[in-house]
Amino acid sequence: MPGLLPRKGLTYSRFVPLSGKFPVGSSLKVIPTSFDVRRKSYVCKLADLNDPWDNMAKYMAGMPVTATIRQVAERYLTCELEEGIEGFVPVGEVSWDSIEENLKAIKKYVVGNVVTAQITRIETARRVVLLSTKRIVKNPVQDYFELNKNTIIHVTVHAVSSFGAEVTINGTPYRGYVPVSEVLWGFCRNVGDYLKPGQTISAKPLRYNEYRNNIIVSPKRSTPNDFDTFRTSHQVGAVVKGRAYIIEDDKIGIRIEFDEGLLTEAYVHKSQLSSVLFIDEKLIHEILDIGKEYKFLVKRFDTKSKVVELSRKEFLRATIGELSYGTEYPAKIIKSRNGYIACGDNFEGVLIEKGRRGMAYPKSCMVIVAGIDRNKNRVELTVSSHT
């Protein structure tokens, strides 16, 4: 009785040449599986044909294996680990080079050659093993991270976005990335306010990003932040000195130095800068000077971001009773929608324009306390005749 042995009845492999495995004249033990009426023959399969996927327990992720290249495509290699078990090497897993370099390298592979690869994932439902030839050798970027993860390195910014900044690690060809959450201690609204293309900064390597083959770095962790020490030694409402160092649209960054060299990061929101001024995007750049030290009240401890929220206006309200009538104080003059405001180290108040209507004020001058309304926290000032 004639019989038919289709490929699927002889092997689970799509690639094994049947002529080489089963020469003409070979004697085979088969099992009929169906009858082909049109051909008037039995459709059979090998009696000892076993599915290799029933014995996949011997393979696991991370294991090195040898595989035979069966197909070379533009973006992947198709291999066989053994007859009937296929594996794929995506172009990104060919080597540790860039995708562009890997697209060139993949063309050099030859069907029939044997490669050594590492199993990255086994997908039983799809009957496919994902492989990586690059993971057989040590990754130089990961090796650099392991050697430098506890040190401070220097990086150069080459691109800035809303979510972070791409950097190059100085002295190497390796790339890094600064997430927005690692730009500074506290909340960063705009990365571009702190990092500029071409700028070289200090950073601490945090982790190796296997997917992008780069290193996540943190500028904020390269600077000391003694937040926990500050929190244990200061309470909400305490008066502290801090130096303004950055101005954003809605807040000013402050650095507080305390206890002989300890440092913590802080900020004052624009709503906490003044009781007499409505602080908009323009006035926030005028009310405090970068590099100058001011006094504030501690308003809140942000334990998640490890940053201190401060209030300038609450400090000024608390010190209104220290002002003396008729006393002269140095002040900075700010023009607002409702007139001129004088701001000093420990006070702020409204200028009374006696005899100066229509005349411009200097940017800084001596002012005299003309009136104090403690119920309304309002101070009236006049420009000293010595100005």
Domain termination residue (choose one: 290, 317, 344)? 317
Task: Name the residue with tokens 């011997």.
Answer: 58
Picking from 111, 136, 161, the residue at the C-terminal end of a domain is 136
Task: Tell me: do 235 and 308 sit in the same domain.
Answer: yes
Residues 153 and 184 in one domain: yes
What residue type is 329 in one-letter code?
Y
- Please tell me whether residues 77 and 131 are part of one structural domain: yes
Count of alpha carbons within 13 angstroms of residue 314, beta-carbon side: 18
Q: Both tokens of residue 143?
A: 């090796």
According to the model, what pLDDT value does residue 355 have? 46
Which residues share a beta bridge with 145? none
**pLDDT, greater one: 353 or 133:** 133
Does residue 144 share a domain with residue 131?
no
What pLDDT does residue 212 have? 84
Mean pLDDT along residues 311-329: 91
**pLDDT by residue (tens digit) across 159-214?**
999 899 999 999 999 999 999 989 988 778 789 988 999 999 999 999 999 888 89
The burial class, CB within 10 Å (0-12 / 13-18 / 19+), for 102 is buried
**Domain of 125?**
52-136
Q: What is the pLDDT of residues 270-283, one digit of tens each?
A: 999 999 989 988 89
Supply the pLDDT for residue 384.
Answer: 84
Same domain, 91 and 63: yes
Q: What percent of the chain has pLDDT over 90?
A: 68
Distances (CA, A) of 365 to 59, 326, 343: 81, 15, 10
CATH number for the domain harbouring residue 293: 2.40.50.140
Predicted pLDDT at 261: 83
Which residue is associated with the tokens 């001011």?
Answer: 294
What's residue 363's pLDDT? 87
pLDDT tens figures, 288-300: 999 999 999 999 9
Q: How sure is the predictor about 359, in pLDDT bands with cuts at 50, 70 and 90?
A: low
pLDDT tens column, 208-227: 998 888 999 999 999 888 99
Do 260 and 313 reside in the same domain of the chain?
yes
First CA to last CA across the chain, in angstroms? 121
pLDDT at 1 over 90: no
C-alpha 134/C-alpha 112 separation (Å) is: 19
pLDDT of residue 186: 75
| Together in a domain, 367 and 336 | yes
Counted domains in the chain? 5
Domain boundary among 222, 257, 283: 222
Question: Mean pLDDT over all residues of the chain?
Answer: 91
Quickly state the pLDDT bin for 314 (edges 50, 70, 90).
very high
Q: What is the pTM of this model?
A: 0.60
Instruction: Count Cα neighbours of 1 within 13 Å in the Cβ-side half-sphere.
Output: 11
Q: Extract the tokens encoding 332.
A: 């900075």
Tens digit of each residue's pLDDT (9 = 90 or more) over 238-275: 999 999 998 888 899 999 999 878 899 999 999 999 99
Spell out the residues 6+ positions from residue 144 whose beta carbon is closer than 8 angstroms to its own: 169, 172, 174, 215
Averaged over 61-84, what is the pLDDT? 96
What DSSP line would sit under 212-270, residue for residue? TTEEEEESGGGS---HHHHHHH--TT-EEEEEEEEE-SSEEEEEEEETTTEEEEEEEEG
Specify whether 112 is located in the same domain as 81: yes
Distances from the Cα of 354 to the Cαs of 4, 109, 359, in angstroms? 113, 89, 11
In this predicted structure, what is the pLDDT of residue 361?
79
pLDDT range class, residue 19, cuts 50, 70, 90: confident
